[in-house]
Amino acid sequence: MLILIFIFIMKLTSSQMIPVVASNRIGTEILLDSKTHTEKQRIHFYGKSFITDVTGLIIQEANSDLDMDIIVSKVNVEQNREIRSAWGLFRDRRPELYGVLKTKDGTNDVHLK
């Protein structure tokens, strides 16, 4: 399951051409029943937070042990711009048509030019 989450986030990153910071806590959380105050469920968190570049490549990754870890990475905005331009992902987008997506109900008329 963990591998699938990594793959999904990396694919999402590269399809949108944005760096991603994926954080996850570590340890076990015990949920109690609100009436009986007995253990209702245990949730285990695996950690493994990571940062990707705009292509989905993991450039920083937290340790997998149960110690807290802080990861940091610099984002080169100019390099990101160059990669986006080279890949041509945004070349065919038509943002002038996105107006209706900004409305709450989607019913506003979009005037085509």
Mean pLDDT of the chain: 81
pTM given for the model: 0.63
Q: Enter the tokens of residue 70.
A: 């802080």
Please give the C-alpha separations between residue 89 and each of 71, 92, 98, 104, in angstroms, as whole numbers: 29, 7, 17, 27
- For the chain, the structural domain boundaries read 2-74
The one-character DSSP state at 106 is: S
What are the tens digits of pLDDT across the range 38-90?
999 999 888 888 898 888 888 998 886 667 788 999 988 898 888 888 877 67
- Which one-letter amino acid corresponds to residue 1? M
Q: At 32, which helix (H) or strand (E)? A: strand 26-32
Angle of CA points 40, 25, 32, to nearest 5°? 15
